[in-house]
């Protein structure tokens, strides 16, 4: 009897939510101009953006406000944001059009599969993972996106001298991230004390963080360089 292949554990659940008319219009009208082509070929970033520039890859951009602000403030970088929830994608597309951003592309898919299948090795200058689902119950920790196998995948995709920047407001997840990255032979911690860094100026302070700060919640930023 043939055994069934093991199911891949996903780090997200699709909670679609309701699309506003503006978000739906953005998906209909703006999406074709700023999304990836629907093929299985490796992405040629120079062709995608029409120029050769550092590539920043963000996993799970939420409503896109922070990513759009970064693209606006750092026009010398090319940005590719990946998000599974279509309302957030539609929101970011509207921001791209409103700010006339030319250095930002969007994809609505599983970022892990995109990395495996279409992102060339040694092609990314920075990977950003901000406030991923912490899956705080112990039995759900296996769903966290940061795991040793995923760290190994990122090591293949990030250029030597490139960066992995993570942020979370769950201390236990921050400790796990720190442990998993510190145990990787491919990454070195950029923090002075080999732990956490202050929020870099290039990462905007989100409304989510501002609310948390008022409630006394902490945020942990981690920055590692690819060796």
Alpha helices in the chain (DSSP H): 21-29, 31-34, 45-49, 65-73, 86-99, 111-117, 148-157, 171-182, 207-214
Active site residue 133: yes
Catalytic residue among 29, 133, 194, 221: 133
Contacts of 157 (CB under 8 A, 6+ apart): 57, 115, 119, 120, 121, 122, 123, 124, 127
Bridge partner residues of 164 (DSSP) = 127, 224
Contacts of 48 (CB under 8 A, 6+ apart): 36, 78, 80, 105
Other beta carbons within 10 Å of 118: 16
Q: Is 177 helix (H, G, I), strand (E, B) or coil?
A: helix
Q: Which residues have a catalytic role annotated?
A: 133
């Amino acid at each position: 009897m043939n055994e069934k292949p093991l199911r891949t554990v996903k780090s997200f659940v699709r909670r679609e939510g309701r699309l506003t008319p503006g978000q739906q219009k953005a998906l209909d009208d703006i999406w074709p101009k700023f999304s990836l082509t629907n093929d299985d070929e490796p992405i040629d970033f120079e062709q995608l953006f029409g120029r050769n520039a550092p590539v920043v890859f963000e996993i799970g951009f939420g409503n896109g406000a922070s990513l759009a602000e970064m693209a606006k403030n750092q026009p010398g970088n090319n940005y590719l944001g990946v998000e599974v929830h279509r309302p957030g994608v539609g929101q970011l597309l509207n921001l791209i059009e409103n700010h006339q951003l030319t250095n930002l592309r969007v994809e609505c898919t599983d970022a892990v599969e995109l990395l495996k299948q279409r992102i060339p090795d040694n092609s990314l200058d920075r990977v950003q993972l901000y406030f991923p689902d912490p899956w705080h119950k112990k039995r759900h920790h296996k769903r966290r996106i940061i795991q040793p196998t995923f760290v190994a995948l990122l090591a293949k995709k990030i250029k030597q001298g490139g960066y992995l920047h993570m942020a979370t407001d769950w201390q236990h997840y921050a400790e796990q991230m720190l442990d998993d990255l510190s145990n990787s032979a491919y990454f070195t911690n950029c923090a002075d004390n080999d732990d956490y860094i202050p929020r870099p100026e290039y990462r905007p302070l989100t409304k989510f963080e501002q609310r948390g700060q008022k409630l006394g919640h902490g945020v942990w930023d981690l920055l590692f360089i690819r060796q």
